[in-house]
Amino acid sequence: MKVPKHYPTPSVLLHWLTALLILAALPLGLYLSDLPLSPNKLKLISYHKWIGITVLFLFLPRLVLRLTRPVPPPLDVPAWQRFAAAATHGLLYVLIIAVPLTGWLMSSAKGFPVVYLGILPLPDLLAKDPALGDLFKTIHEMLNNGLLVLIGLHVAAALKHQFIDRDDTLVRMMPILKRST
C-alpha cells in the first residue's frame, strides 16, 4: 500500500468542518451564558446545541476514517514532540466527544429537550434533576476551557511547524499550502 503524503480528503474536510463548528460553538456558548432569559437566548441555545450535536455526530465518521484509511507517517521530529502530538490529539478526540455529551446531559438533567435542527427530538439521557444539571453545567464549562487550551496548543504547534521548523506538518492537513522549504 502506498504511503500518502497528505491526509485523505474526507479526513481533511471533516477535520476543518469540526474545527469551524467548535470555533463557532465556543464563543456562542460564552456569549449566551451571560444573556438574560429571552426568546433570543433560547434561539441561540438551540443553535449552540445543534452545533454541539453535529460535532458529536461527525466524530464517528472521523474515527472510522482514521482507523481505516492510511495516513502520512510521522515526520522526523524528536520523540517528545511525537508524544506531545499524540497526547494532544488523543485529548482533543476525548473532548470532541465529552464536551457535547456533557452539554446534552446538562440539558436532559435540567429538563430542556434537545431537538436537533428543530426537527429531530433526541432522547433525554437523564431524568430531570436540577442539581445534576448544575453539576453537568460546571463539567461542561471546565471541559470547554480544556478544549480551548488544547486548541491553542494545537494551532501553536501547527504554526511553529509551518513558520519556524518549515516542515510539512501543516501542509499534510492543508494540501493547498505550498511546502515551506
Q: Is residue 177 part of a domain?
A: no
pTM above 0.85, yes or no: yes
Q: Does position 180 have pLDDT exceeding 50, yes or no?
A: no
Pair 106, 137: CB distance under 8 Å: yes
Q: Is residue 139 part of a domain?
A: yes
CA distance 180 to 127: 54
CA distance 44 to 40: 6
Q: Residue 66's Cα: distance from chain center in Å?
A: 15
pLDDT tens by residue, 129-178: 999 999 999 999 999 999 999 999 999 999 998 999 888 888 888 878 76
Average confidence score pLDDT of the chain: 93
Q: Is residue 127 part of a domain?
A: yes
Q: Is residue 112 part of a domain?
A: yes
Q: Is residue 30 part of a domain?
A: yes
Radius of gyration of the chain (CA): 19
Q: Does position 29 have pLDDT exceeding 90, yes or no?
A: yes
pLDDT tens by residue, 89-138: 999 999 999 999 999 999 999 999 999 999 999 999 999 999 999 999 99
CA distance 50 to 48: 5
Q: Is residue 178 part of a domain?
A: no
Q: How many domains does the chain have?
A: 1
- The single-letter code of the amino acid at 54 is T
Q: Is residue 1 part of a domain?
A: no
Q: Whole domain around residue 52: which residue ranges?
A: 9-165
pLDDT tens by residue, 54-70: 999 999 999 999 899 88
Q: Is residue 170 part of a domain?
A: no
- The single-letter code of the amino acid at 3 is V
